[in-house]
């Protein structure tokens, strides 16, 4: 399998870029309690983006794991989860705001802390959205890779600090040409006072063509229809 690109996303670091369809994005947590916030937009039309409600209701789930697809608001598959040793990735708790980072970890300024300053998911996302021709207006619920947030019967939300362990991995397969924005910043519901510092190893590979027996396609009829919508989109584009 041909490796195309690799990177270590340091604690607090952000990244954005265009990633074409048909790639594996392999994430590995290099420590316990990782949280990588991720947004995804269609490269050709950024008004089409990852849609948390459509993703969850089509698959009757409140979290993401192997076999799940990450859907856009246009009923297409942006990416699918083909491998996951973690078992639960959150998509209902959003990104760490500047306000919460200051409150929880204390005010951290570049002048004092230089590049060790404690960054927020909010600011990381805003900068990368602007870089890609969008802005805060385009913020939507994100995916939090490696994070588990569950709800009790009464609806209360809980972050599980023991969920993610060192060397756990998750692999996405891109199904559309996307702008991907990543922020390696703590989960907003993680109440520990220490800013988690877990580097994430990212490797991108060429993926083989998807076949109809693929677990993400066969998992539900809904998934298959979302793939059909995606294939149709590229056929009509002539790609």
Partner 1 sequence: MHEFIEKQSKLREEDAVYDDVVMAGDGWMHKLKKGQSFRIVDLKGNQAADTMFYDMTNPADHYGAVATIVAQQSIYLTTGSILRAESGKPLLEITADLTGRHDTLGGACSAQSNTVRYAREKIYMHNCRDSFMLQLANWEDQFLAKRDIAPNINFFMNVPVTKEGGLKFDDGVSSPGKYVEMKALEDTMVLISNCPQLNNPCNAYNPTSIRLLIWD
Among 16, 11, 156, residue whose Cα is nearest residue 96: 11
Angle ∠(105,12,64) on CA atoms, nearest 5? 100
Compute the least distance from the CB of residue 26 to partner 1, in Å: 24
Among 75, 91, 87, 83, residue whose Cα is nearest residue 222: 75
**Token pair for 204:** 């991108």
Name residues whose C-beta falls within 8 Å of residue 198's C-beta, 6 or more positions apart in sequence: 11, 29, 30, 31, 32, 33, 34, 35, 184
> CA quadruple 17, 1, 216, 151: dihedral positive or negative?
negative
- Packing angle between helix 221-237 and helix 52-59, nearest 10 degrees? 130
Closest to partner 1 by CB, 152 vs 162, is: 152
**Token pair for 216:** 């993400």
Compute the least distance from the CB of residue 43 to partner 1, in Å: 15
Compute the least distance from the CB of residue 188 to partner 1, in Å: 6
x/- mask, partner 1, residues 169-188, rule CB under 8 A, reads -------------------x
Choose which of 2, 137, 193, 212 interacts with partner 1 (CB under 8 A). Answer: 137
Stretch that binds partner 1, among 13-21, 151-159, 164-172, 211-219 (CB under 8 A): 151-159
Q: Is 66 an interacting residue with respect to partner 1 (CB under 8 A)?
A: no
Q: Is 94 an interacting residue with respect to partner 1 (CB under 8 A)?
A: yes
Closest to partner 1 by CB, 16 vs 26, is: 16
Choose which of 58, 78, 86, 217 interacts with partner 1 (CB under 8 A). Answer: 58
Chain positions contacting partner 1, by CB under 8 A: 46-47, 49, 51-54, 56-58, 60-63, 71, 73-76, 88, 92-94, 97, 99, 134-141, 150-157, 188-189, 222, 225-226, 228-229
């Amino acid at each position: 399998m041909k490796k195309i690109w690799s990177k270590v996303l340091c604690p607090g670091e952000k990244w954005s870029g265009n990633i074409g369809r048909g790639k594996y994005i392999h994430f590995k947590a290099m420590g316990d309690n990782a949280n990588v916030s991720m947004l995804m937009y269609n490269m050709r039309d950024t008004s089409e983006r990852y849609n948390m409600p459509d993703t969850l209701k089509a698959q009757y789930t409140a979290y993401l794991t192997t076999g799940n697809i990450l859907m856009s608001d246009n009923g297409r598959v942006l990416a699918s989860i083909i491998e996951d040793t973690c078992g639960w990735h959150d998509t209902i708790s959003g990104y760490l705001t500047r306000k919460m980072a200051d409150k929880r970890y204390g005010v951290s300024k570049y002048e004092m802390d230089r590049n060790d300053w404690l960054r927020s998911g909010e600011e990381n996302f805003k900068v990368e959205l602007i870089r890609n021709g969008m802005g805060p207006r385009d913020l939507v619920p994100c995916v939090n890779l490696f994070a588990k947030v569950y709800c009790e019967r009464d609806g209360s939300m809980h972050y599980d600090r023991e969920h993610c362990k060192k060397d756990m991995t998750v692999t996405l397969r891109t199904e559309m040409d996307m702008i991907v924005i990543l922020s390696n910043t703590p989960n907003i519901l993680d109440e520990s006072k220490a800013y988690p510092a877990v580097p994430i190893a990212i490797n991108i590979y060429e993926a083989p063509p998807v076949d109809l027996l693929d677990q993400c396609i066969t998992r539900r009829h809904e998934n298959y229809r979302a793939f059909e919508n995606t294939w149709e989109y590229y056929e009509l584009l002539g790609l």
